[in-house]
Structures are given as structure tokens and as C-alpha cells.
Amino acid sequence: MSQHTLNLFKRSPAVQKAPSVTELKKSIRALAAPTSNGVTASATVQEEMAKLVLLLEKQNKEKKLTKTQMLDGNWRLLYTTNGGSSAGKLGPFVGVVDQDINLADGKYVNYVRLGGAIVEGALTASWDNLNDKTWRVKFEGIVLKVLGIPLVKKPLDATGIWRFTYVDADFRILYAQGGKNTVKENIYILAK
């Protein structure tokens, strides 16, 4: 366990207070930072992350996770248990993953960027709101650009299920199931 996480769990018995949201988010960020979006996370790091996430999810105050205006805007992927392109992995490289959500239009674009914007993949999607915690995501298309020049443009016809468990003004946790991985849910932790 990281030192910061150990400190969260080593509170004296007299202090029976759970770690604060701020402390948990700080620990999650610190644990995720050296893992290349989770791609290089060890089993130990994955277990530690799962514990921290569970503690944070218990402190979720938002009831309508899929409808809140807090979802609007740009989100950066901090960590996922998905080891593929959703984690920003393109071949042997791992890029930065950003997601722009536009609630008014019911659309989002998921960007994977390598070398700044030398190579950029953009996945477009929309969603159906199934309930206060779940979206059915409809993947519509992907564009691959090199130096701003589109090289590949491909329509998609795939769906996935996103189950939201935590949302606040600058942090979001969801579990996604779909695509080639229809059995296991992968966790995604994003921040503004």
C-alpha cells in the first residue's frame, strides 16, 4: 500500500471517522498516477484501488448520477482495469484519454492522444438513460488522425452498459460492460 493510503487506514481507534472525500480522491489520484491509466497496475495496486473506490462510493451524495449537470464537460481518465484502447493503449504506447460530454446534445467524444496530438483517435457515442445509475452507450464512429490529418474514419454499431457509482463536481466512477468484454465490468475513474 502507498504511504498515503496506509495513513488513511491507520487512524486511532478513538477516531472512528471514515476518510474524507478529499482524502480518498487524493489517495486515488496518487495511486493511479504511476500506472499509465491503470495499464501497468499490479494486482496489489488493483486491490488497493478497489478498497479506496468502495470507500469513496459509500460517500456519494448525488442520487441522479446519469442526469446530473456535473457530468457536462471534459474528463480525464485516471485509471481503468481495461488494458486496451479504452485505457489509451495503442500498440506498445499509452496515451492520454479525455472524454467530452455534452448533456444537452446527448453525445460524447472519447479522445486518445499520443505525443500531444500527433496521433489522435476520437470515438463518438450517444446514450440512452436507463435509470438514475445506468446508461446504454451507443458507439457511433471512430476517426484516427495523424498530425491533424484524418487517416481512418469508420462507423461503429456497438453498445455497452455504463453503471455509475460516484459523481461529484470533479470526480466520476463508473463500471462499463460491452464490446469484446461482455462478462467482466471494467472500472473507469475520471477527473476534471
For residue 132, what are the CA distances in angstroms to 11, 64, 146? 35, 5, 38
The domain tally of the chain equals 1
**142: domain CATH number?**
2.40.128
Q: In the chain, count of helices (H) and strands (E)?
A: 3, 10
Give strand pairing partners of 162.
135, 176
Distance CA(145)–CA(154), nearest Å, equals 12
Average pLDDT over residues 139-145: 96
pLDDT at residue number 18: 81
Whether 191 contacts 172, CB under 8 Å: yes
At residue 12 the predicted structure's pLDDT band, cuts being 50, 70 and 90, is very low
Specify the DSSP element, H or E, that contains 153.
Answer: strand 149-167
Structural domain boundaries enclosing 77: 3-191
Could you report the per-residue pLDDT of 95-135, keeping only the tens digit for each? Answer: 999 999 999 999 999 999 999 889 999 999 999 999 999 99
Q: How many residues does the chain have?
A: 192
Whether residue 8 is predicted with pLDDT greater than 90 in this model: the reply is no
Copy the grid coordinates of residue 54: 468502495
Range among 13-27, 54-68, 174-188 with highest mean pLDDT value: 54-68
Distance CA(66)–CA(68), nearest Å, equals 6
Higher pLDDT, 85 or 178: 85
Strand stretches in 9-148, DSSP E = 73-80, 89-90, 93-94, 96-102, 107-114, 119-131, 134-146
